């Protein structure tokens, strides 16, 4: 161990910023967008469930006549009432997150997209005292980010899909093959409302509000890597690299099989790009930890200083490992991190 430790300086903030969906890279644009600050604490799960409920003034008059029917008749009746082909619900998608997601009555009045339709069906199942859930699926042969969601009823031990955009019950859209990404409870289905709200705010460059909505989505359902990914990007935008790094790690820890299922064409690209956040966060945290240790060591707090500098070394080594494994640091950056490691020895 050295007699004295000299201060080292933090790595410059990396200019690469991963943009949601498009993954375009623009350093100057990123600097401008990161001026938006995060305010307030993310709500806890208990308060989230009170924010959007299976409640509606327009729903009961449409479906109350089904209350005394058999379960099979209830399911068939719901499809007939809300099927797009019967002029039930109207398709009015969010057009790449250009509007906020709609709740039940607004969807009934103005139309909506598949997740809003699923909320209407879910509320109907609740009203008619039917068990059920929802499927998050990706249609084969379509774009990777073309995700579809449908509610289903459970009756006599069977799952019966109710998709207002399909030609009949137990069908999804045009009947093409699909991959199930998630099987949700009716309560978990609500997470999509907040996920889409987060996407809306992200597109509006209101990153603090986007974070709040994504956090709310995650409180209801933690298994969607898209939400982890989005949180990593949004926290990066507001300059909170520590939180960004946590969610980037959560995204990577989902595992290649799950990421490939959600993002079959681009899972490696997304994992590679988002690992850059972890490299930057670990490097800067390592610098802070090192300088803290140097101050402690040089002031006579030898053992405390040694521990802090050892922690810094581990952070630098992890940054170097992730950076090299994913090919997200160049030779100059690699040598800089190696110099940081040597400073700890």
Whether residues 56 and 175 share a domain: the answer is: yes
Residue 312 · residue 286 · CB < 8 Å: yes
10 Å Cβ neighbour count for 192?
Answer: 26
Determine what percent of the chain is predicted with pLDDT higher than 90.
70
Looking at residues 286-297, what average pLDDT do you find?
92
Q: Which residues contact 322 (CB under 8 A, 6 or more apart)?
A: 275, 278, 279, 282, 328
Q: How long a stretch of residues is the chain?
A: 345
**pLDDT of 41 strictly over 80:** no
- For residue 66, is it within any domain? yes
Whether residues 61 and 168 share a domain: the answer is: yes
**pLDDT of 8 strictly over 60:** no
State whether residue 102 is helix, strand or coil.
coil
- For residue 207, is it within any domain? no
**pLDDT of 202 strictly over 70:** yes
Give the confidence band of 273 by pLDDT, cuts at 50, 70, 90. confident
Averaged pLDDT of the chain: 84
Looking at residues 108-114, what average pLDDT do you find?
95
Give the confidence band of 48 by pLDDT, cuts at 50, 70, 90. very low
| Amino acid 12: pLDDT | 38
Residue 33 · residue 205 · CB < 8 Å: yes
| Amino acid 6: pLDDT | 52
Looking at residues 14-22, what average pLDDT do you find?
31
Dihedral angle over CA of 221, 226, 228, 230, nearest 10: -120
| Range with the largest mean pLDDT of 8-17, 265-274, 303-312 | 303-312
Token output for 146: 């073309």
**pLDDT of 19 strictly over 70:** no
Give the confidence band of 54 by pLDDT, cuts at 50, 70, 90. low
Looking at residues 160-172, what average pLDDT do you find?
95
**pLDDT of 34 strictly over 70:** no
Looking at residues 287-313, what average pLDDT do you find?
92
Whether residues 182 and 286 share a domain: the answer is: no
Whether residues 181 and 273 share a domain: the answer is: no
| Amino acid 36: pLDDT | 33
| Amino acid 44: pLDDT | 39
Whether residues 54 and 145 share a domain: the answer is: yes
What's the half-sphere exposure (Cβ side, CA atoms, 13 Å) at 38?
21
Domain boundary among 186, 212, 246: 186
What's the half-sphere exposure (Cβ side, CA atoms, 13 Å) at 333?
21
- For residue 3, is it within any domain? no
Domain boundary among 186, 210, 233: 186
**pLDDT of 235 strictly over 50:** yes
Domain boundary among 171, 186, 201: 186
Residue written as tokens 């099987």?
A: 183
What is the rounded CA–CA span in Å between residue 151 and residue 54?
14
| Amino acid 97: pLDDT | 67
**pLDDT of 13 strictly over 70:** no
Give the confidence band of 278 by pLDDT, cuts at 50, 70, 90. very high
- For residue 30, is it within any domain? no
Whether residues 306 and 178 share a domain: the answer is: no
What is the rounded CA–CA span in Å between residue 85 and residue 91?
10
Whether residues 54 and 172 share a domain: the answer is: yes
Structural domain for 73, as ranges: 49-186
**pLDDT of 25 strictly over 50:** no
| Amino acid 146: pLDDT | 78
23 or 74, higher pLDDT: 74
pLDDT digits over 330-343, tens only?
999 999 999 999 99
CATH of the domain at 53: 3.10.620.30
| Amino acid 209: pLDDT | 97
- For residue 116, is it within any domain? yes
- For residue 157, is it within any domain? yes
Question: What is the tally of structural domains in the chain?
Answer: 2
**pLDDT of 17 strictly over 60:** no
- For residue 193, is it within any domain? no
State whether residue 196 is helix, strand or coil.
helix
- For residue 213, is it within any domain? no
**pLDDT of 143 strictly over 80:** no
Looking at residues 288-315, what average pLDDT do you find?
92
Whether residues 274 and 181 share a domain: the answer is: no
């Amino acid at each position: 161990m050295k007699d004295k430790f000299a201060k080292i300086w933090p790595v410059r903030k990396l200019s690469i910023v991963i943009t949601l969906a498009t993954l375009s890279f623009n350093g100057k644009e990123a600097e401008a967008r990161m001026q938006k600050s995060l305010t307030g604490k993310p709500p806890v799960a208990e308060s989230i469930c009170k924010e959007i409920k299976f409640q509606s003034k327009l729903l009961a008059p449409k479906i109350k006549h089904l209350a005394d029917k058999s379960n099979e008749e209830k399911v068939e009746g719901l499809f007939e009432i809300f099927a797009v082909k019967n002029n039930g619900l109207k398709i009015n998608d969010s057009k790449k997150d250009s509007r906020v997601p709609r709740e039940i009555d607004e969807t009934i009045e103005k139309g909506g997209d598949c997740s809003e339709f699923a909320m209407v069906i879910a509320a109907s199942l609740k009203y008619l005292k039917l068990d059920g859930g929802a499927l998050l699926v990706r249609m084969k042969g379509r774009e990777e980010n073309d995700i579809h969601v449908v509610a289903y009823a459970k009756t006599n031990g069977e799952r019966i899909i109710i998709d207002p955009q399909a030609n009949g019950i137990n069908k999804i859209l045009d009947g093409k093959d699909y991959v199930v990404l998630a099987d949700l409870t009716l309560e978990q289905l609500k997470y999509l409302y907040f996920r889409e709200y987060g996407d809306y705010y992200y597109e509006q460059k209101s990153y603090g509000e986007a974070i709040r909505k994504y956090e709310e989505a995650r409180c209801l359902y933690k298994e969607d890597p898209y939400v982890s990914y989005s949180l990593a990007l949004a926290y990066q935008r507001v300059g909170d690299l520590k939180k960004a790094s946590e969610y980037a790690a959560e995204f990577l820890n989902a595992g290649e099989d799950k990421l490939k299922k959600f993002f079959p064409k681009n899972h490696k690209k997304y994992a590679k790009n988002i690992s850059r956040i972890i490299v930057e966060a670990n490097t800067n945290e390592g610098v802070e930890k090192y300088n803290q240790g140097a101050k402690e060591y040089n002031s006579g707090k030898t053992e405390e200083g040694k521990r802090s500098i050892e922690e810094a070394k581990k952070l630098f080594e992890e940054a170097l490992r992730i950076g090299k494994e994913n090919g997200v640091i160049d030779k100059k950056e690699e040598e800089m991190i190696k110099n940081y490691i040597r400073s700890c020895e």
